[in-house]
Structure 1
Amino acid sequence: MKYLVRNCLASVALMWLTVAPVTAQEVLLDRVAVIVDQGVVLESEIQKLIADVKRNAAQNNQSLPSERALRTQAIERLIVTNLQMQMAERMGLQVSDPQLDQTIANIAARQNVTVDDIRAQLDADGITYDDYRESIRQELITGEVTRANVRRRIYITEQEVDALIDIMDQQGAEQAEYRLGHILIGFPPDPTDEDIADARGRADRVIELLNDGSDFARIAIASSSGSEALEGGDMGWLNINSMPTLFAEAVQENDGEGLIGPIRSGAGFHILKVMETRGIEKVEIEEVNARHILIKPSIILSDAKAEKMLVEFKEGVIAGELDFAELAKEHSEDPGSALRGGDLGWADPNNYVAAFRNALATLEPGEFSEPVRSEHGWHLVQLLDRRVDDATDKRKEERASQLIFNRKFNEETENWIREMRDSAFIEVLEPTNS
């Protein structure tokens, strides 16, 4: 059957398309230029793509290769697109008109123009809006076909991610700079054990004063034996490679934050303070610890009754007559948290649906919300606590994974296209002279 279709296509390719026999004169309207498996590429498609390339080149003052080379490139592009569209049809992939209109509206928004502005520019370039819409539809479909087929060819290991994070950290360490404050509680020459213990005691007292809010610069001027004591202990801006090894190790171990020390060396006990940083990416997110009871309205339980039930639960818990955890275990319809007494644990509030997230934003630790309606049902929410968590490592991991995925996706896309092209029946037909 496959070969029968190909033979039919080949026959059509060699036929002249004629107008009505009023004049009995043959007029070439279009012709099949390439047979691509179960599809064809028309000469008009090739000429249109070549015209688009020439127009873009003229707008960007770019030179182009010979007509023959340009035609070859256009044919190859159309062959791949045709194969992708055939695959999309087999997969049942489609883009509806509303989806297409929304995509074009998004394109206009990103360019800070209106859809009417896009229409006007297309008219100026001699491109019909219908052709533009169909080209966008085709891009969406071929893009989804590519993603669906290439994504499953990609596998990323933890070792690859860790290795890239190490490289990123090394590059970051070279760029990161710290403005260090330094206080040295020095030893006398040839210190005795008693001298060392005395210096350690004084260093501990300095740490206590600093933790209690004392001014670092004032204490450095008064107590430090370091060369920068008169500058308030300010060592200036240093990167890891330019500061003393002992300091570099301590700064890295403490993630470059706050007070560090006392650190013992041959000179005495050192106390460091990271006063500022630059060239360092640090990501912090607020997390919330909350619990809830979820009641889902049904044919039996109306919206109003579900809301009233939670109001009564709240009043009973506040009065000390009911236990929140027990109510959650007995009544909550959230299977993930009900057995834990409604406890959701620590989470980024952005992970929750909008109504739930907004309710949490208005609460202080320990407070209960009024019943909240979301797409899941009615919630009674209690905020247990808030905290700021360092998400730098998590973001590094996400970024490393994405970088590896992008690299592999590009590599595998090329491989997939080549394999798809090589396994297809392709016949380029030479123009027929009349």
Structure 2
Amino acid sequence: MRKITALAFGVVAMLASTMAHAETLMDRVAIVVNEEVILESELNDLIENVRSEMDTSGANAPSETAIRTQATERLITQKLQMQMADRMGIRIDDAYLDQALASIASENNLSVEGLRLEITATGASWAEYREEIRKQIAMSEVQRSSLQRRIYMSPQEIDMLMKLISEQGADSAEYRVSHILISLQNEEGEPDEPAARARAEQVLELARRGDDFAQLAVTASSAQNALEGGDMGWMSINAMPTLFANALENQEKGHVAGLLRSGLGFHILKIQDVRGAQQAVNEEVRSRHILIRPSVILSDNRAQQMLNEFREQIQSGEKTFAELATENSADTASAAQGGDLGWSTADVYVPEFRDRVARMEPNVISEPFKTTHGWHIVEVLERREQDVTEQRMREQAQQILYSRKYQEEMEVWLQELRDNAFVDIRI
């Protein structure tokens, strides 16, 4: 949910702008994407949101043309991903959405009602905010499904990363990095490396001169985070794409790196800040669960109702958790153990399950909740200090390596999606 949370409040200004946008009798088609359209009002709303989120005054401010170009590409990319979600049959139902909103509220120290009040206080519509979060979740699912099969991690790569992590110990640092990508493609979509290099050298000179990097990103970057000023957030050297890690390791705050050539174009990086590595919670949890998967013959409501009935039976002493898990859980591996998932760090689970077990008191049976796997009830049995074994180090290395490769593949996949689409920009 972290990614969704980070974006969640960012959509509020856009929704408020939408509410305030004067309605006209005719809303022109701005862009055609395959068989669907993006309206002029949608484009204008995003442009206004970008203006409100950044300082667009001053000599170095992004031009109106630059902001419009970036907003256009953002909406095209979103539309393509939502079209893919439809083709893949990805549907984010209300129960799943409600859990996502509860997680957003919790991570911002709010109740869901408190979150709703904050959203509506800006003039935005709560219903539209919910739909924006639903869209973000759907796009995340499309990305995950599409990129998983493109990522391969060899045992040798994992072993090498384990060795690096072990050698670095507690001395590793994390970097707040901003990024600009100068695409190899020209305005006609054809590769033109000499022209791209010339543009990249100009941007690099401006960045090293001290021009605002975020505004340079909006003006020049082809990366998907251009409208966020190229901000990549905090990451360790090991979690970065290898090309970036080699250029930034042991560098200090303010360092500008470039030009870095990849298959997509030329990259320019800036270290915005450096800090000591944030230590993960040194804790493992042992829990058990019962999973009910909805199907064509078992509705969401019935799955949730069944788990409520199981919970009542356990609490009344009519049946034990282990008996019900063995008889009913769709997770056959844990069902054979009475639902017992064994010892593990919470971060190995999907976000909804992870967040639930991370905050539960032992020996309390949760209310039914939904994840991508189906409906669950869970009970935390015990907690203990983490067992730092070779297996745990391997799991950490796998997670870091997967995250690195995911980032590397994301831009490539989105570019392929864009290249294979029919797009007609009309205004």
TM-score range, shorter chain: 0.3 to 0.5
User: Per chain length, whose mean CA-contact separation is higher, i.e. which structure has more relative contact order (CA < 8 Å, sep 6+)?
Assistant: 2
Which structure: larger Rg?
A: 1
